Structure 1
Amino acid sequence: MIICTFEHGGRPAYLRHVVVHALVERDGALLLVKRAPHLGEGGKWGLPGGFLDRDENLVQGVLRELREETGWTGEVRGLLRVNSRPNRPREDRQNVAFDFIVTPLARVGSPDAESTAVEWMPIERLPPLDSLAFDHGESVALYLVSRGRPAAPPIVE
């Protein structure tokens, strides 16, 4: 992780990071991952996603994270939300999140060590949204409200 000391009078401050998340629905179920214990908010269910790598764009990043964490490939349908709130994730850094709606294509592998479980959860049996990792529940709620509606510009916060 890159840190910067000149902005805050010699006190290290983490830079902003870009994260991507995939909202993937199939047959009335959302694809969720259980975060491994060694990760932030380990043990909680959340959206597949993670940090953008230096050599990729947003779409490449979300599709890579989807494949790594779930074993699924997909196709990006659109951008649901850009979350740039400065308190995200409530640490001395800011993660700017891009939440994409992704159509699942095929299962091509197994999840990596960042996921202890991968599950297609029927929407009517989702865990309480406020129990999902970080603020993923907010993104799921926005997605559920927007389902079946004509495409709208992404929500930018």
Structure 2
Amino acid sequence: MRHGYSISNSIMFHMITCYFENNNKAKKGLRHITVNAIVIHENKVLLGKRGTVGGKVMLESGKWGLVGGFFDRDENLAQAVKREVLEESGCEIDNLTLFRINDNPNRPKEDRQNVDIIFSANLVRQIPKKDEEISHLEWFPLDNLPPMEEMAFDHGEDILLYKEYLKKKHPIPLLGLT
């Protein structure tokens, strides 16, 4: 069936297969899952200045953001965030805590709706690494962050919510919020 579901019967179960339009290429109207980490070490948070991909300027290039990226097929959320943080920063992390699920359909500065799964994590070790997606890495004291206008997407909001959580220890994960 075009643009929808194909249902086939089996002896014991029904199987539903979903087909995407445009030869299986994701359209801007689809939702994407991203993972990001608020990596903490000695009361500092790791931020990366967004760079390029394949030599092309990324969305929000030159702005500071949390380290993370897209969720890949055949991995769970913990594997995804650990992989992304290691790929982009050379940092191994542990003590993952699900902090926030940001599903705001009107997230700023996005060309599509990404559902962002944000974890807090601790640094295990950092191995120097260069990744083109991050032009510069820096550990910022939680009380001395870059100005909000220098932050990519709504990552500054994530960090402010994390700082508030440290003061009040309210229940997490935070869901939604606009």
Tell me which amino acid in the other structure corresponds to 2:94.
E
Q: Kindly indicate whether residue 37 of structure 2 is the aligned counterpart of residue 22 of structure 1.
A: yes
Q: CA deviation at 1:14?
A: 2.9
TM-score by length of 2: 0.76
> What count of residue pairs does the alignment treat as equivalent?
150
Q: 1:23 to 1:52 in 2, by over 3 A?
A: same
Paired residue for 1:128? 147
- Cα 1:108–1:67 change in 2 (3 A) is same
* Aligned-residue identity in percent: 42
Which residue does the alignment assign to 1:140? 159
SS in 1 for 2:116: strand
Q: Tell me, in whole angstroms, the C-alpha distance in 2 between the residues paired with 1:89 and 1:76.
A: 29
Inter-partner Cα distance in structure 1 for 2:142 and 2:136: 17
- Written as runs of structure 1 = structure 2, the 5 A alignment for 1:72-91 is 72-88=91-107, 90-91=109-110
Find the counterpart in structure 1 of residue 8 from structure 2: none
SS at match of 1:101: strand
Deviates more, 1:107-116 or 1:23-32: 107-116
Task: State the Cα RMSD in Å.
Answer: 2.1
**TM value normalised by structure 1:** 0.85
Cα distance, 1:125–1:150 mapped onto 2, change above 3 Å:
closer
Q: Give the C-alpha shift of residue 128 in structure 1.
A: 1.5
Deviates more, 1:54-63 or 1:141-150: 141-150
Matching residue of 2:81: 62
- Residue by residue, what CA displacement relative to the aligned partner does 1:104-145 show, whole Å, maximum 9, x if unpaired? 101134031100001111222211234310000110000011
Q: Do structure 1's residue 31 and structure 2's residue 50 form an aligned pair?
A: no
Any stretches of 5+ residues in structure 1 without a counterpart?
A: 6-11
Cα 1:150–1:87 shift into 2, 3 Å: closer
